[in-house]
Amino acid sequence: MNFSHTFIPTLREVPGDAVIASHRLMFRAGMIRKLSNGLFAYLPLGLRSFRKVENIIREEMNAIGSLEIKPTVVVPGELWKESGRWDAMGDALLRVKNRQGADFVVSPTAEEAFTGIVRDELSSYRQLPLSLYQINTKYRDEIRPRYGVMRGREFVMKDAYSYHCDDESLDEHYQAQGRAYRRIFKRCGLTVIPVKADSGAMGGSGSEEFMVESEVGDNTLLLCKSCDYAANVEKAECKLDYSPRFSQEMADRAAENIPPMEKIDTPNVKTIDELCTFLETDAKSFVKTLIYRAVNVELDLSKAPGCEKLAKHKASPGAPETYPEAFFAVAIRGDLDVNEVKLAAVLKASEVALASDADVERITAAPVGFAGPVGLPAAPVLLDQTVTGMNDAVTGALEKDRHYIHACYGRDFNAWLTADVRTVKAGDFCPVCGGELYEKKGNELGHIFKLGRKYTRSMGVSYLDENGKSHVPTMGCYGIGLDRTLASIIEEHHDEQGIVWPVSSAPFHVIIVPIKYQGQVKDVCNALAAELETAGLEVLLDDRDERAGVKFNDADLIGIPWRIVVGDKNLAAVSSGGTPAPKVELKRRSEKEAHLADLDKAAAEIAEDVRACLAC
């Protein structure tokens, strides 16, 4: 295709809000334009690369037997009410009322739409397993869209959903999806960090995120220096530096060796640091206790202290029964932080947050700052597992300016529930091998997830087994964001001058740059383009009436893998024997140096390389 026949509005300037390379370069290379905050239009060059990524994903999905369908983008709100997510999703869900007052959703994800279709068609176990996918427009009403298409409001996602008779079948397809995802990212030239939901030490994983490193990533990852453990901080575990088990024997010995618990005055001591100074000890000896408010708690609280008056209710027909609000005292070793995502998971709550001062004072019967697990009747005490290894601790005494010292777990206080709710950080130890963990920022490109029967149950899906007995199928979901994947390719493949496309997602394979597009040079360029296109390559011919420097800069900016420069001087080259030996200059975008090639061999050299790149 001739440059003058397409529409590639390259720019020298960078938009002010473009802080990451992919945003800057997609804008400057004329790949995208902004329609509004978080809404981007792909121009012809951008769309070509977008379609390459789309096709790689489609091929890999088809290869594992997932079947493409196309539901609508706007889906009935009724389905979301059945699943319970109409209420649960919050404001990121773009809700629409049509002219007749019916509720609709501009889909951010499609568990409901797919499960609604499958529900109506499924009757027999013989129809399972069934894996369906779409590559379609999604919308998420982000409060702060940024980084170009990396975090836009409207985006395209491949989302697949699979339905199975049993866990073995689900696991088999889940593994196949995981392998397909690895192939997709490899073909795109992306270095991804697969992050499992748990360390695998507990037996099997139900979720895996595919991350790319990014300085502006939404996610903090913990990686092990010694093994391939990688985890999202939201779920990361670590090796306990205290014993995680505290047996009766240990408690007995502690009770013998540790002085009795004692309440002391700690006047004007406000922070843990001040307390450590005051007591000449360190934060690891302190049991920090925080009061949390949790919303929509599914965990059974019927026997929990202070929860006698709570009753469960259903937020919507498809939702599980939950307690709308409950308070918890969460105790953790003083040098550590509570991870609210892990805490919410333990409580099966939709949301947790620190309680208000008023609620803290009501529950602890003391000013803020003196909470502790000893003798607290007004809320269930949840101990992080680090606390179960503490047998001579300092903690708040539920009185102003008073603390306990020599507090022993098992002797002086107990847990209503013990769990791992600690935020893991760099320097902690790998839960698998004990190596040191370090941190990286990452962006999630894809996610595979065993959903189980959450949606199939709430939406009433069933099938009959070979004996005519009815069962609820189990389900998995598997998503990849296309726009993010494309932007991440640019993040990983660019230099000072512009994009450095891998062949697989390049908008064109070759750019032909004539020094001046006229006379013999023009004829040679046209013939080369025709030869390359006949060989199946995608060619951009820069036929513009611009200075060579402008054309070279644009070629570097838009980052086509191969560049052929055609000029009179090299075409007039003569062999050492004196016969004409016309040459052209070839250069890979990824390499610094160009080399001369015989005109009649140039196309073949490039075609062979492109084919080799696409095959791997």
Report the interface residues with a copy of itself, using CB under 8 A. 5-7, 9, 33, 35-36, 39-44, 46-47, 50, 65, 67-76, 78-79, 91-92, 94, 96, 98-100, 106, 113, 116-117, 120-121, 130, 132, 136-137, 139, 141, 143, 153-154
Nearer to a copy of itself, 71 or 320 (CB): 71
Gap between the Cα atoms of 313 and 356, Å rounded: 24
| Nearest distance in Å: CB 89, a copy of itself | 12
| Nearest distance in Å: CB 46, a copy of itself | 8
Gap between the Cα atoms of 81 and 319, Å rounded: 9
Nearer to a copy of itself, 73 or 258 (CB): 73
| Nearest distance in Å: CB 525, a copy of itself | 19
Query: Cβ contacts of residue 339 below 8 Å, gap of 6+?
Result: 233, 234, 421, 422, 423, 424
Q: By the 8 A CB rule, do 397 and 403 touch?
A: yes
Gap between the Cα atoms of 297 and 346, Å rounded: 10
Number of neighbours of residue 600 by Cβ within 10 angstroms: 12
Nearer to a copy of itself, 547 or 595 (CB): 547
Nearer to a copy of itself, 109 or 386 (CB): 109
Nearer to a copy of itself, 45 or 571 (CB): 45
Nearer to a copy of itself, 78 or 359 (CB): 78
Gap between the Cα atoms of 334 and 286, Å rounded: 5
Q: How many CA atoms lie within 13 A of 603 on its CB side?
A: 18
Which tokens in the block code for residue 146? 């940024």
Q: How far lies 327's CA from each of 315, 356, 420, 479, 513, in Å?
A: 19, 11, 18, 35, 68
Nearer to a copy of itself, 153 or 293 (CB): 153
Nearer to a copy of itself, 98 or 520 (CB): 98
What is the b/e burial string over 348-358, where b = at least 16 CB atoms within 10 angstroms of the residue's CB? ebbebeebeee
Nearer to a copy of itself, 65 or 204 (CB): 65
Max CA separation in the chain (angstroms): 103
Q: Taking CA 35 as the corner, what is the angle to CA 95 and CA 38, rounded to the nearest 5 degrees?
A: 55
Gap between the Cα atoms of 137 and 122, Å rounded: 26
| Nearest distance in Å: CB 527, a copy of itself | 22
| Nearest distance in Å: CB 6, a copy of itself | 6
Q: By the 8 A CB rule, do 399 and 371 touch?
A: no
| Nearest distance in Å: CB 33, a copy of itself | 6
- The three-class DSSP label of residue 394 is strand
| Nearest distance in Å: CB 133, a copy of itself | 10
Number of neighbours of residue 482 by Cβ within 10 angstroms: 22
Nearer to a copy of itself, 94 or 360 (CB): 94
| Nearest distance in Å: CB 262, a copy of itself | 53
Nearer to a copy of itself, 153 or 235 (CB): 153
Nearer to a copy of itself, 121 or 466 (CB): 121
Minimal CA–CA distance to 75: which of 40, 119, 111?
111
Assess whether the previous peptide bond of 320 is cis (omega < 30° from 0): no
Q: Which is it for strands 474-481 and 154-164: parallel, antiparallel or unpaired?
A: antiparallel
Q: Taking CA 469 as the corner, what is the angle to CA 466 and CA 472, rounded to the nearest 5 degrees?
A: 105
Number of neighbours of residue 285 by Cβ within 10 angstroms: 19
| Nearest distance in Å: CB 79, a copy of itself | 8
| Nearest distance in Å: CB 539, a copy of itself | 15
| Nearest distance in Å: CB 589, a copy of itself | 23
Backbone CA torsion sign across 480, 481, 486, 487: negative
Query: Does an H or E element contain 134, and which?
Result: strand 130-139
Nearer to a copy of itself, 94 or 532 (CB): 94
| Nearest distance in Å: CB 51, a copy of itself | 9
Gap between the Cα atoms of 161 and 125, Å rounded: 17
